[in-house]
Structure 1
Amino acid sequence: MDDIKAKIVDILKDVTGLDDAGQDADQDLFKDGVLDSMATVEVLVTLQDTFGITVPVSEFDRSQWSTVNKIAQQVQELE
């Protein structure tokens, strides 16, 4: 799980350009303005490419993807 979280943090840093993006695994990325709708799409596409998963956008619920810990949980479930 730590490897997944590390990759997610790297993806967040690349997409947002913020060095501290995702450093707090429980930070609400939407509430704190780290992710907006465009960045979210880019993160989802990168997650799909990196982990070989399919994230159904029609079923995407921000509350389930709002922190690094939650993203890691979703990735694990979809792998």
Structure 2
Amino acid sequence: MDDIKEKIVGILQDVTGLDNVGQDADQDLFKDGVLDSMATVEVLVTLQDDFGIQVPVSEFDRSQWSTVNKIAQRVQELE
């Protein structure tokens, strides 16, 4: 799972342009303003491409994707 988290942190850093994203794997990315709706879509598309998963936007629940740890858990479940 550490490899997955590292890849997710890299994606978040690329999308947001912030180097400190992911230092706290439990940081709420929405609450802290790291991700907005446009960045979220970009992250989801990149996750789908990089991990070969499908994340239907209609089933997207922000509370399940709000931290690096939660994103890693969801990616593992969808792989």
The aligned residue for residue 78 of structure 1 is 78
Length, aligned pairs only: 79
- Runs of at least 5 residues in structure 1 that lack an aligned partner in the other structure: none
- Superposed counterparts of 1:2-17, under 5 Å: 2-17=2-17
The aligned residue for residue 45 of structure 1 is 45
- Runs of at least 5 residues in structure 2 that lack an aligned partner in the other structure: none
Q: TM-score, normalised by structure 1?
A: 0.99
How far apart are the structure 2 equivalents of 1:56 and 1:75?
Answer: 13
Q: TM-score, normalised by structure 2?
A: 0.99
Q: Which runs of 4+ in 1 moved over 3 A?
A: none
What's the CA shift for 1:36? 0.2
- Superposed counterparts of 1:11-26, under 5 Å: 11-26=11-26
How far apart are the structure 2 equivalents of 1:64 and 1:50?
Answer: 19
User: Is 1:67 aligned with 2:67?
Assistant: yes
